[in-house]
Structure 1
Amino acid sequence: MWRTETFVLFFLLCLKNLMKANGSCYLEQSQSHCVCSVKDLEQTEIQTFLTCTIATIYELRGGNLTRFGNFSGVEPHPQIIEILENLPVQKLIFTDVIVPEILLPGALAFVSHTPLVSALEFVNCTFLRAAHWYTRNILWLKISSLRFHRVIADPLDDRFDISSWRSWLENLENLTISESQVTSIPCKIGVVFTALRLLDISGNRFQDESLSSSFCEGAFPQLQILKLNRNNLTSYETVCRTLSHLRTLAHLDLSQNSFPPDLLSSPCTWPQSLRIFNLSNTGLQYMDRSLPPNIEILDLSANSILTLDLSTPGLKELYLSKNRLQTVPSVEGLPSLEILTLDQNQIPRLHSKGLLLLKNLRSLKAGLNLYNCSCRRYIQEIQDLATQRTDWLQDWPHNYICRSPPQYQNYLLDEVPLSSLQCNKALVSHGSVVSLLICLHLVLRWLPV
């Protein structure tokens, strides 16, 4: 039993003399998540550590590990290794911890003896740069998911010996480095991630040029999901050219970058494997740029798009919320569409005829628009749509509100008295005069001179 107690301390901090440190541990409500703190407490009973032997997630919160820097060369004792090999722990989390980089190889050596640990996370941590890295010959880690969120660390540059980490990094499948002020990933590191499926580098400081150097030829050859949202990207075409060699990329998130309208947008070729594309909140005013040929889900919400005319036969989901659309986009080129969102635009009238042609459509959101309730026909179209396809309108009737004329402002569309409405005859007459003039022009054009 003493060995188990000792292990919990060893395992959480991977420090030779951790029994001298003060701290406390407790199980969260799930009974599978153990949280330990190493803040200065006068005394911690050893029994508190025993409660964590059943946990599958261990989290260390708060503390400065600087004084344990000489632990970097310590080898695990055979008895400790035996305990490590029989524990149920699957994930390790370090939160609000100051970690000297020199400790990492030793700590990972302990982790290498835990066969069930597959995820390692560092949240709000600060890594203190080491003058020289101490590395073991080979680290045989079974970790497939590595996450850094809001960490502070110096760039790796040439001080990082990739050779001793290659066997582990080559098998890593998920890597997150988010909100950590990262500007680039060295090419020599990117090419090592041969099995990486997901890369989340959101909320950093990648720019067009640094993105090109990070995604060099041969880097991330098996990447399927790439999250680049909330960076400093400004050129849609440059991003397209940079990522064009990622032949397995299926999901790309570029949201919350800034793509100003170009006078002339040059064509580019996205990977044919790309199916999910997020361009929300990127400053787009129009969408005449190259799209992935086999795209199935496209998010263009929270932009400034006025008009849209897409021809993407395989598109199944189109998100256009919070734009400046003044009419329903043409859907003739979208025969496979299943989900369409048009809410929070400037649409005065919902044309149901074109929408009813979408045989696969199963969800439509079009509330909170500038609906004109002066014409009975306009309201009747939406009411008929809600009646004929009750499963379509996800936000009917509470988000379908009249914005004009003044006497019906803020009325729900299904509450407007249709019997009192008539369409504007002046507009109809004006339209008739225009049609008559066009016909007269055509007749005079073909009359013999």
Structure 2
Amino acid sequence: MKRILIIGGGFGGVAAAKELRGLPVEIGLVDRRNYHLFQPLLYQVATAALNPSDIASPIRKIFRHQKNVSVVLGTVEKIDLQQQRIFIEDQPIPYDYLVLAAGATHSYFGNEQWGKDAPGLKTIEDATEIRRRFLLAFESAEIETDPDARRASLTFVVVGAGPTGCELAGAMAEVARNTIPADFRHVDTATARVILIQGGPRVLEAFPEESSLSAQRQLEAIGVEIILNQRVTEVRSDGVMCGETFIAAHNVFWAAGVKASSIGETLGVPLDRSGRVKVNPDLSIPSYPNAFVIGDQAAAVDGKTGKPVPGVAQGALQGGSFVGKIIRRELKANEKEEQAPDRGVFNYFDKGNLATIGRNKAVAEIFGCKLAGFPAWVIWAVVHILFLVNFRSRLAVGFGWAWTYFFGDRGARLITGKSEVQIKRPPNFD
């Protein structure tokens, strides 16, 4: 039997594996975690709207009825394209076809030391750490007697105004102003500052300008302070340098850049500045037609427009399906001892862009139609529920959102992990 190895259980890897169902092949799906994660909703875990289990599903459960898939829990250390094998803990595993879909991680643009004080948002661990810091800030402010320290505790800086940054900043502002004020006795949580810093001239730069301006107005309406055309030059435990200005803040969150998984560096092939693999029009690696790269790992170009394929879920899903169909056709041709059909080129179908700002606040650009406010928010909610991987997740997320919408409560406000708060003086509750 032919062996197909898929590295990564994200959108692209899962889509590729599903496209190969029913074939007499051996599929190994390798991931260092045992679950598939719906990353677009990670910010809702970080802001206590959802639990981690609401947006993650065990990979083995997804493929329990697809008998040609074996799930392997492990970390791929390197890939040998010439010998057609991967290495997991120094153990070589050969393959006939390889699909690399290992995704991306944070990029601090050469300042990796900033990660300690400015966590990004790519994993469940990231989300729960941000939630811990976010909720601890209010606990610290509740017992802090020094005005400057209290002000710094209640200042939240989000670096990067793409969809993740805007969604995170909007949700934090809503929590501080609408969800938790009645929970605290000695601090007014509505005085919290949420500052969104963007190096470019507008938020959501991938969106049309009209949608970007609408998103900015909606963010400002719920109290988010927006700083444009300024870059963060230093991140410290007590704040950030934004241009020539220092902003005192005990909580800084990073949403400014991404880079491809480091496993691509072991391939020995050309990479772009973000570490993505430069692929052929059929998403294969140059000189290695049986090895494909999809999703955030690939520097792919749309075959119709010549524009880069965006690093979004739809790009990964479509890439995984495209590669799966290629492998299916070639295996069937090989079985019949026929010549393999032409692979064609990958054409990305842009279904539009969506970003939510908060309750009843969002922007959408779908097939050239621009929407904002409540209609865009409804579309965003429906689309995200539909793309969750299983019914249980759809039900849990739908119920959680309905509860939050009607009652204004976020039920996942749990501080997990280390929970110390730092204050300059003992509290005084007189």
Give the alignment's TM-score, normalised by structure 2. Answer: 0.20
Give the alignment's TM-score, normalised by structure 1. Answer: 0.20
The structure, 1 or 2, with the larger RCO (C-alpha pairs under 8 Å, 6+ apart) is 2
Q: Which has the higher strand share?
A: 2
Q: Which has the higher helix share?
A: 2
